[in-house]
Homo-oligomer: A and B are copies of this chain.
Amino acid sequence: MENKIIKTIPEAIKASGLKSGMTISFHHHLRNGDYLLNMVLDACAKMKIKNLTVCASSIFDCHEPLIGHIKKGVVTGLECSYMSKVVGQEIARGILKKPVIFRTHGSRPGDIARGKMKIDVAFIGAPTADTMGNCTGKHGKSRFGSIGYAYADAEYAKKSIVVTDNLVEYPLSDASITEDKIDFVVPVKAIGDPEKIVSGTTAITRDPVRLRMAQMAVKCIEAAGLMKDGLSFQTGAGGATLAVAVYLKEKMLKEGIVGSYILGGITSYSLDLQREGCFKSLIDVQSFDTASAADIATNPNHIEVSGLQYGSAVAKSSCMATLDTAMLGATEVDVNFNVNVHTDSNGNIMGGSGGHTDIAEQCKMDIIITPLFRNRLPMIKDRVTTISTKGKYIDVIITERGVAVNENVAKPNAIKNLKQKFIRAGIPVVDIRDLKKMAEDICGKPKPAPRGKKIVANVLGHSGEHVDYIYNIPK
């Protein structure tokens, strides 16, 4: 064997033995700039391959053509950890016969590793690859940084195909995924548009209400006793949660605190904190913007990790096992601290757990930052439309009208007497039922989302266990 190059995607599909009824997988590191999923499905459709299960780590709006492939029967199964609204609203309307299986960013690689999710052919978009399949996300015109979510696919799929728009000589020096796991290499003109890695959710908020909530989060970290050398921190991609990073930096610089690591989902805000010396390391499963993608190529303290190492319950430990605190988002929360990040209040699918559930279950203190209402819809309800993360894993909910602390947290790492610590620190602790009442006093009691009888999605948790179902929106 001199090389593994196959000239086109259809030829690689043929060589891989992909047939109707099989399962194919994709990673989402190019996020809304990904071209590969559409290219492969278009090729499958032309080749009359049907009845495929698409196991993509996430589905973005750029994957709109997937809707047509579902309607034509090319795709009849869908498994992912996140799905944005263009495809999500169609799924919520029941276009797919089988329920979508929603895993988390940790349980997806976990289920792949333990054989609960079997992939026939993995398609791995790689911004740089050599002729034998050694590949990386760190170099090339389409570079996206960490290729963390593709490790398990490459390792455990029966056949693994690297698709690259930057084919280089063997051997690639700093491969993330290595040739021993790769069957074929397909050179193409472009695997995606890296400018579209940054989505709306990775821009910082300018809303003063949200900025005040972000400041409150920093107070909570301090009150919990975590604001000290060695602090480890995760912030998701969301306007308010990102703002926490900015206030955290001010605080840490002022007090000379040197944290250990930022875990994530790494953004330019994370880079800034590490460059300023607030944190020693960045642990990166997914680079959220082009600046992060560039940094990981040269910064020795910007560490790439696989999805398994990031947050799997199947791993002997994940990075989250030592994580102090994390800022998490929500589309809804409820009086039992359950959090919804899958659906909006109308029952439309427009998200997914991502790493939310994994982090909540493992870190010492997670903080949900949410306004009391959005567009005159209360965000705190009696029961969330969809449970993404169970209330027993949620520690703190910050709203603009006060901070709710969960006294029924059930996880081994939880901080004791958190409510008392917050009160002592002067944080405005409010009962979550009172927060709900405040929201309803302003907006009125919301009607429950319209809900049909068909299960359109099955939501799984950190260890792959069933958490909730999502039902269709009736026509």
In the complex, A165 has a CB within 8 A of chain B: no
Chain B contacts of A303 at CB under 8 A?
A: 171, 173-175
In the complex, A346 has a CB within 8 A of chain B: no
The complex places the Cα of A2 from the Cα of B320 at a distance, in Å, of 10
Stretch of A54-62, A65-73, A311-319 lying at the B interface: A311-319
In the complex, A305 has a CB within 8 A of chain B: yes
| Residue contact B182 to A316, C-beta cutoff 8 Å | yes
Chain B contacts of A321 at CB under 8 A?
A: 1, 132
Chain A interface size, as a band, is 35 or more
In the complex, A205 has a CB within 8 A of chain B: no
Chain B contacts of A281 at CB under 8 A?
A: 171, 173
- Which of B160, B169, B309 touches A178 (beta carbons < 8 Å)? B309
In the complex, A201 has a CB within 8 A of chain B: no
Give the residue among A175, A303, A309, A317 with the most B Cβ atoms within 10 A.
Answer: A317
The complex places the Cα of A283 from the Cα of B182 at a distance, in Å, of 18
Q: Which residue of B lies closest to A302 (CB)?
A: B173
Q: Which residue of B lies closest to A311 (CB)?
A: B180
User: Which parts of A138-179 form the interface with B (CB within 8 Å)?
Assistant: 160, 169-171, 173-175, 178-179
Q: Which residue of B lies closest to A413 (CB)?
A: B1
The complex places the Cα of A318 from the Cα of B180 at a distance, in Å, of 6
- The 8 A CB mask of A320-331 against B (1 = contact, 0 = none) is 011000000000
- Which of B173, B182, B309 touches A317 (beta carbons < 8 Å)? B182
| Residue contact A316 to B173, C-beta cutoff 8 Å | no
- The 8 A CB mask of A334-359 against B (1 = contact, 0 = none) is 00000000000000000000000000
- Which of B3, B180, B182 touches A306 (beta carbons < 8 Å)? B180
| Residue contact B133 to A183, C-beta cutoff 8 Å | no
**How far does the Cβ of A412 sit from chain B's closest Cβ, in whole Å?**
8
Q: Which residue of B lies closest to A154 (CB)?
A: B316
In the complex, A181 has a CB within 8 A of chain B: yes
**How far does the Cβ of A172 sit from chain B's closest Cβ, in whole Å?**
8
**How far does the Cβ of A410 sit from chain B's closest Cβ, in whole Å?**
17
In the complex, A199 has a CB within 8 A of chain B: no
- Which of B173, B283, B312 touches A300 (beta carbons < 8 Å)? B173
Beyond the given A3-B322, A173-B301, A179-B309, could you list 17 further A-B residue pairs with CB under 8 A, ordered by the A residue number? A132-B322, A169-B280, A170-B261, A171-B261, A171-B283, A171-B319, A173-B281, A173-B300, A173-B303, A174-B303, A178-B305, A178-B309, A179-B315, A179-B316, A180-B306, A180-B309, A181-B315
